[in-house]
Structure 1
Amino acid sequence: MGEFWPVPDALAYLAGRWSVARSVRDLASGAEGEFTGTTEFRAEEDGGLLHHESGTFVWQGVARPAERTLRFLPGPDGTVDVRFADGRPFHGLDLTSGRYVADHPCAADLYRGAFTVRDADHWRTVWRVRGPAKDLVLRTGYAREG
């Protein structure tokens, strides 16, 4: 088996509960942090998934509760249209090859996310954020629970 695990239907793959471990590094200042928690993808009436992440974010030694919500809507041929909780577009997601790169412009900064699926129960993202306001790398590993 290769480095990537093809996923014909991203929503079916993502559904359920995942443990999350994320490292955050500010390349400009050298500051580092980490998030640990869970992500749950719950079915919605429109055929999509509500993505809710919650846990603890530790930044420079200070721990704070953190959470975020996204909506994963069905796209053509097993792909996903990822949206912010308020409905604004975030990025597309196509895991049919087991790997996908998404771009999201945010003001003058550019978020570029690389998604890779390792097997039935593990996937990861690496977001690189570059621009006048941010210079970050966020690495997240997901492991299926239960």
Structure 2
Amino acid sequence: MSTSEAEEHREVITQWAASFNAHDAVGVAALYGEDTCVVHPAYRQPLRGRKPVQDDARAFMIALPDVSGELSRVVVGQDCAAAQVTISGVHAGPLVLATGTRPPTGRRLRFTVALFCRFGPEGEIVEEHRYYDVDDIRRQLGDGEHRR
């Protein structure tokens, strides 16, 4: 892997964070290939294609209108990159989780997401796997508070 490829991969991840923080779902999706595949804990099936990635980013930005992502670590190698992002925001809109869509709670969420991306020949993300602790998010949303 050349230094320029590593820099390009790192720049795509940095641009992802900048677009996410600007609440620019179109900008986030533009970093993905037309035939991208994103494996995401909230969905039973992978997101396939740029438009579903854009729709997912937009839905998340609606669920947490003040959302921000702090990029704390990026590791690049060959045709891939891994990133750690801490997401925070107030849950003020419907939030899609693996357990279903949650109505707004008004609670502040803070959780870490690990992204593992593979890049195509044009430098676009062609495959991504996202990992985060869904149970931690559910606890922050108040699941189980009223159970005995």
TM-score of the superposed pair, with normalisation by structure 1: 0.36
Structure richer in helix, relative to its length: 2
TM-score of the superposed pair, with normalisation by structure 2: 0.36
